[in-house]
Chain A
Amino acid sequence: MTILANILIVFFISCGLLFIVVSAIGLYRLPDLYTRTHAASKSATLGVMCILLGVFFHFWLKEDHFNPGILLGILFLFITGPVGGHIMSRSSYLAGVKPWSGTVRDDLKEEVERMKKEQGL
């Protein structure tokens, strides 16, 4: 039983470790702000959720201490991580940060121009 608990904890923690390191490498290598937001909001959120799940299992199975605060933290990060990335990339688009030069399609541009025209009239 304790071997199974150890395997579960180590699996979750190393999985989250992989995702967090990959998201850091993505923030270093990707070419513009929007792709970097994509890397940061998804991958880092999943990584930290995996690590917190591993810590929760450690305190529950090994120390016999059920801690709902960690579960609440997992839920909160699951809700707020993608929302933070979305709001940050949207506001930086409205503030005029240019996408990468290899971008082939920009659907938001026409919509923003239409909104500006409607508000200007």
Chain B
Amino acid sequence: MKETIMLVALTLFMIAIAILLYRVIMGPSMPDRAIALDTIGVNLISAIAIVSILLNTKAFLEAILILGILAFIGTIAFSKYIERGVIVERKGDN
């Protein structure tokens, strides 16, 4: 029962990532692609959690936190690049 639900969950994550990849490829503007990639990161986090239940191990649980932090930093850096054109500003640049 529970194994079946985990396998169904993994299949649905795969379908969701395929739909989001459509948005990454066809998205009309750059922020669309960034948002779709951020949501793919969220899907990967949940897939890691489900896989760690399926394999019955605790070794992958640290990867959840690390992947969340990396997705957030990537989104922030990309939005700053879209707004200003630079990511890290130098002092006295303007």
On A, residues with C-beta under 8 Å from B are 6, 9-10, 13-14, 16-17, 20-21, 23-25, 27-28, 33, 36-37, 40, 44-45, 47-48, 51-52, 55, 58-59, 63, 65, 67, 69-70, 72-73, 76-77, 80-81, 83-85, 87-92, 94-95, 97
Contacts and interface: CB of A to CB of B under 8 A. Distances in A.
Given A10-B2, A28-B23, A76 B31 contact: no
A87 B73 CA distance: 12
A13 B82 contact: no
Interface of B: 1-2, 5-6, 8-9, 12-13, 15-17, 19-20, 22-23, 29-32, 34-36, 38-39, 42-43, 45-46, 49-50, 52-53, 58, 61-62, 64-65, 68-69, 71-72, 75-76, 78-80, 82-83
Contacts of A85: 35
Given A14-B5, A84-B76, A92 B36 contact: no
Contacts of A9: 2
Contacts of A45: 42
A13 B49 CA distance: 10
Where chain A touches its partner, the secondary structure class is helix
Contact of A76 (B9, B61, B69, B75): B69
A92 B82 contact: yes
A27 B39 contact: yes
Nearest to A79: B72
B65 A72 contact: yes
Contacts of B53: 55, 58
